[in-house]
């Protein structure tokens, strides 16, 4: 059986999920991380490259004539020059849908952590205040039910739709704004962005980053939100302007924010979101919403299936 040469450029992005499962479909070389200067040397002579974030651009493609397939260990394909790859007869295959349930779960984990003031209550107990309180309960910070609240979703793709379905299960009222302007009949109430900002108790961002959505939510948009509203971004960094969000939180324009994505990952220490006056108003996780163990296992199987499909389709010419 034909066994192509495969190189995985950034296996660390999959954590503890073993890349060596890929030996089932080819002769594998694994690198935990790869810098821009190392790309050509490591890809040279290989037919298949697997990358999560390492950029495969025109320079790499021209320097690696043996390359025939780029497998992206993700859904987004913005790290590959798709047009030039097509010109050169190089296939590019991603894995779609593998992380939907993981992202939806993480979205609600962040929401309930903030909505329930769980960090405060956990610290109240662990720092000894509960032991000294003399009362079986404590009402130091008010918290609210999601039932009956208005949740607005920015971007009604696969993930946005699942968030909407789960929100409905909690008896929240769902509306959404389509950033493409095309998805206007998703089975939920569609509104303009301005309507969404003004009326929502929770806004959850699940749209891609492009020229239309970059800085979609800035200071003026944040100023239109309710004073106690919660903003969640589990979509893409850059959709929410980080400097403006820092100002809005410091000025009390909104209640809380939760982010799993940032413009630069990891961020610089100077990022204004890391230097808030009231850091308890912001929850940040390090781009992990996609990465439940089951999600990463599905991703690996998807990569293997893509390579298997490629081998079946091309083996006749080998």
5-98+293-317 against 100-284: fold identical? yes
Label the pairing between strands 282-284 and 256-259.
parallel
Per-residue pLDDT of the chain (318 residues; tens, 9 = 90+): 679 999 999 999 999 999 999 999 999 999 999 999 999 999 999 999 999 999 999 999 999 999 999 999 999 898 999 999 999 999 999 999 999 999 999 999 999 999 999 999 999 999 999 999 999 999 999 999 999 999 999 999 999 999 999 999 999 999 999 998 888 888 999 999 999 999 999 999 999 999 999 999 999 999 999 999 999 999 999 999 999 999 999 999 999 999 999 999 999 999 999 999 999 999 999 999 999 999 999 999 999 999 999 999 987 655
Cα 72 off chain centre by: 15
CATH code reported for the domain at 5-98+293-317: 3.40.50.720
Catalytic residues: 236, 265, 287
Beta bridge partners of 48: 6, 69
Cα 83 off chain centre by: 24
Domain extent listing, the chain: 5-98+293-317, 100-284
pLDDT of residue 318: 54
pLDDT of residue 185: 84
Phi, psi of 211 (to 5 degrees): -65, -25
**306 contacts: CB under 8 Å, gap ≥ 6:** 69, 71, 93, 95
Phi, psi of 61 (to 5 degrees): -60, -45
pLDDT of residue 181: 86
Summarised one tens digit per residue, pLDDT across range 165-196 is 999 999 999 999 999 888 888 899 999 999 99
CATH code reported for the domain at 100-284: 3.40.50.720
pLDDT of residue 170: 98
Rounded Cα distance, 125 and 162, in Å: 34
**DSSP character at residue 267:** P
């Amino acid at each position: 059986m034909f066994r192509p040469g495969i190189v995985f450029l950034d296996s660390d992005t999959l954590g503890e999920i073993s890349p060596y499962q890929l030996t089932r479909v080819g002769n594998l070389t694994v690198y935990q991380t790869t810098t821009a200067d190392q790309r050509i040397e490591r890809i040279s002579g290989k037919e298949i490259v697997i990358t999560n974030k390492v950029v495969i651009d025109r320079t790499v493609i021209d320097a690696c004539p043996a390359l025939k397939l780029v497998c992206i260990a993700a859904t987004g394909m913005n790290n590959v020059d798709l047009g030039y790859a097509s010109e050169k007869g190089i296939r590019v295959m991603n894995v779609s849908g593998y992380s939907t349930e993981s992202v939806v779960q993480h979205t609600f984990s962040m929401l309930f952590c903030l909505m329930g003031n769980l960090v405060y209550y956990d610290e109240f107990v662990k720092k000894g205040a509960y032991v000294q309180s003399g009362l079986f309960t404590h009402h130091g910070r008010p918290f609210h039910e999601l039932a009956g609240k208005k949740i607005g979703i920015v971007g009604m793709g696969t993930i946005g739709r699942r968030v909407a379905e789960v929100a409905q299960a909690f008896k929240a009222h769902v509306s959404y704004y389509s950033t493409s302007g095309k998805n206007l009949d998703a089975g939920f109430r569609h509104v303009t962005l301005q309507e969404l900002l003004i009326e929502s108790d929770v806004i959850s961002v699940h749209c891609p980053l492009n020229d239309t959505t970059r800085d979609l939510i800035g200071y003026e948009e944040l100023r239109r939100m309710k004073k106690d509203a919660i903003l969640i971004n589990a979509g893409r960094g850059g959709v929410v302007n980080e400097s403006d969000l820092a100002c809005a939180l410091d000025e009390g324009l909104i209640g809380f924010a939760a982010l799993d994505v940032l413009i630069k990952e990891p961020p610089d220490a100077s990022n204004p979101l890391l230097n808030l006056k009231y850091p308890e108003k912001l929850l940040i996780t390090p781009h992990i919403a996609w990465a439940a163990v089951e999600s990463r296992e599905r991703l690996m199987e998807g990569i293997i299936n893509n390579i298997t499909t490629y081998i079946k389709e091309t083996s006749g010419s080998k």
